[in-house]
Amino acid sequence: MDRSCFLVVMLVLSPLAAWAQTSDFEYPTLWDPSTIVSSSVDYADGDAKLKGYLAYSNATSGPRPVVIIYPDWDGISNYERFRANLFASMGYAGFVADVYSQAVQQGPSIPAANRSALMMPFRSNSSYYRPRLLAALNTVRTLDIAQKDKIFAIGYCFGGGGVFELARAWPNTPGLLGVGGYHPGPLVSAGPKMQAGSPLRVYAFSGAEDPGITGDSVVAWKDEMRAANVTWGYYNYGATVHGFTLLESPVWTGNKNVSNGYNAAADHASWWALRGILLEVFQLTNTSNAYTSAGGAYDYQTGMAGTKLMSA
């Protein structure tokens, strides 16, 4: 499917359009299905009726840290549910936020032009986007399964840029400890910037060959983080383009005319980096000595198996 997000807005004749699919990709089941509990969660942002996806494991009991996932430009699909289930298998609760509302049939069947029309009102107006992002955070805090003071947010593409907008909404972000944007778009905001004194940790995971990420935008993003004096990280993966975590995408072979594609090394490295960040942020491991401390009590998944997750 064509999931190059904001890149297709600029590159209408993207070579990816030739292999666009209308059906959702079937992701591998990398967990014991009998242990994963999933459900939809109805919530709202003003008059907009929203429906998120919640997953957690019954292998552990009681409230646990939550990872919120903000979707890319085709909204909620099997990709975001797959990531939520992975977090659930690691002992967290995974919650996929709804940005477009229940009025939109979401997923890969949405034509690129329609995705642009749905996405751009949010991307172009942070005062419109941020309340929608905050609605998911506030909803998660009402869930019995959630540790309300241990929440981390990640996003992909459109959602990757969205989590930076969420972080910029601090201090109106109770319970949020940090964010991570994967192949984010955009890095910078026309709205209010990150506020000085924010305790949030902010991370970006990007491809060095992503044509949608300009050098100027990277400099501006880093300068914004430095000015706010937050804890931040910019992970820049070589020989990697946009959408490098999308398993259904063809593997990128270095063709400069192709704007996005899967990269197993970058996918694996960024996933392991996030897992380490979560253990530290949620205080599930003794970070005073990362070399000798044991893994966190929650992150008990020691390996994954699957076609693209284990091979190029």
What are the Cα distances from residue 116, in Å, to 6, 155, 259, 263, 308? 8, 17, 17, 25, 29
Q: Is-contact 6 13, C-beta < 8 A?
A: no
CA nearest to 137, candidates 121, 154, 122, 153: 153
- What secondary structure letter does DSSP report for 26? -
**Which residue, chain included where needed, has tokens 């959408």?**
243
Residues ≥6 apart with Cβ < 8 Å to 130: 165, 166, 168, 169, 191
Environment class of residue 124 by beta-carbon count within 10 Å: exposed (0-12), middle (13-18) or buried (19+)?
A: exposed
Environment class of residue 100 by beta-carbon count within 10 Å: exposed (0-12), middle (13-18) or buried (19+)?
A: buried
- What secondary structure letter does DSSP report for 242? B
CA nearest to 232, candidates 137, 164, 148: 164
Q: Is-contact 77 247, C-beta < 8 A?
A: no
Which of 20-34, 97-111, 171-185, 204-218 is least confident?
Answer: 20-34
Average predicted confidence (pLDDT) for the chain: 88
What are the Cα distances from residue 124, in Å, to 40, 65, 154, 186? 29, 31, 20, 10
Residues ≥6 apart with Cβ < 8 Å to 49: 42, 101, 102, 103
Question: What does DSSP say about strands 93-96 and 64-70: parallel, antiparallel, or unpaired?
Answer: parallel
The alpha carbon of 239 is separated from its chain's Cα centroid by a whole number of angstroms, namely 21
CATH number assigned to the domain covering 6-289: 3.40.50.1820
**With pLDDT > 70 as the criterion, what percentage of the chain qualifies?**
84
pLDDT for 305 beyond 60:
no
Band of pLDDT at residue 226, cut at 50, 70 and 90 = very high
Q: What is the mean pLDDT of residues 150-155?
A: 98
- Residue 256, classed as helix, strand or coil, is coil
pLDDT value for 290: 65
Q: What angle do CA 205, 206, 212 make, to 5 degrees?
A: 140
pLDDT value for 238: 97
pLDDT for 311 beyond 80:
no
